[in-house]
Amino acid sequence: MKYEQVEEVKKLLEKDMDTISNMDELNELKVKYLGKKGLITNLNQLIKEIPNEEKKEFGGSVNEVRSVFTEFYENRKNAYEEEILNKKLASEAIDISLPATKVASGAPSILEKLVEEVEEVFMSMGYDVVDGPEIELDKYNFEMLNIPKGHPARDAQDTFYIEGEEVLLRSQTSPVQVRTMLKGKGEVPIRVICPGKTYRRDDDDATHSHQFMQIEGLLVDKNISLSDLKGTIDVLVKKLFGPETETRLHPSYYQFTEPSVEADISCFNCHGAGCNICKNTGWITVAGAGVVHPNVLKMGGYDPEKWSGFAFGFGSERLAMLKYGINDCRVFYNTDLREEKVFDRKEKDLND
Ligand code: DAH
């Protein structure tokens, strides 16, 4: 009698299996056979009523039905899951042959580009590119550059003081000269340039900004003279403004150089005919420079009897304005995107 019940369940199961066509139906089937009151579960309950010696055989036949079910269940379950996954993948497929949406890309800042170009020229001559702090000590920004406290030369640089009289925002990149010499501990040669930000209490106008950039240079070795300086500047400006560009030095005054000069380049625009870029002089001033003052060498730990050097300071914005035909330095620091356009156009002109 009880064995017949097992047979019945088995037959019913075989019939039911033929009707299943999706996951939901499969799950319903599971409940029908293995749920709390499922048909196979019920068969298990019958074991209690079976005499002991038959329990094993009866149990075996119930297990057989159970295996038929579980095998069917597992196979179908895997098949349905795969089907669902395939459908999902098909619906989410990406057509890689479609043209991509264009992503607007940024352009390099002209100032950054220019500084990089200058760095490359100097690195090719064996210079290191070094850095120094923008928050500087009065000692390095002035005193060790031969500008003692109270000296009138300080007035030319309207300095932002941060703490009392000792801590300031550097008004020039020249303090990096001092720091480099102190680090050099009397060893030669020193060959460095330092591009960096500088600060002065200037009112902002087309040619002034309270924050601007300089490119400082320092070379210390044996028998260095003004002609070395001139030759070095010449290499740079020919690279920046074209091979026909000439360099000229005219006398100037800085506390930390003796003699002091300003470096001019021949006007790349009018070639001497006269234009508003060179203010009809045919020459454009691009840097302050000179032979390092013996006091500065001495304070930096270099014996001025043995060593000499030259130093220079370019205004980065000025170089960029000249090179790219920009007449207002404020464009470097605002969000006027015309700056990039000027750059793109000039780059194209220069490459053509
Ligand atoms: N620091 C000077 C300035 O800000 C520029 C300069 C002049 C730098 C002569 C130098 C130098 O290294 O030798 O006006």
Which of 50-64, 115-129, 221-235, 296-310 shows the lowest mean pLDDT across its residues?
Answer: 50-64
SS3 helix, strand, coil % of the chain, rounded to 5? Answer: 45, 20, 35
Q: How far is the CA of 148 from the centre of ligand 1 (A)?
A: 16
Q: Which residue has the tokens 């060790």?
A: 144
Mean pLDDT of all residues in 5-17: 93
pLDDT surpassing 80 at residue 147: yes
Q: Which residue has the tokens 């625009």?
A: 269
> Ligand 1, from 144, 170, 172: best to mutate by most atoms within 8 Å of Cβ?
172
pLDDT surpassing 80 at residue 340: no
Residue 346's φ and ψ, nearest 5 degrees, are -65, -40
Give the model confidence (pLDDT) of 65-99 as tens digits. 999 999 999 999 999 999 999 999 988 888 788 88
pLDDT surpassing 70 at residue 119: yes
pLDDT, position 233: 97
Give the model confidence (pLDDT) of 164-217 as tens digits. 889 999 999 999 999 999 999 999 999 999 999 999 998 777 778 899 999 999
Residues 6+ apart with CB under 8 A from 114: 240, 316, 319, 320, 323
pTM of the model: 0.69
Ligand 1, atom 8: closest residue by C-alpha: 313
Q: How far is the CA of 315 from the centre of ligand 1 (A)?
A: 9
Q: How far is the CA of 30 from the centre of ligand 1 (A)?
A: 89
Q: List all residues whose CB is within 6 A of at least one atom of ligand 1.
A: 172, 174, 216, 254, 257, 288-290, 311-313
pLDDT, position 302: 97
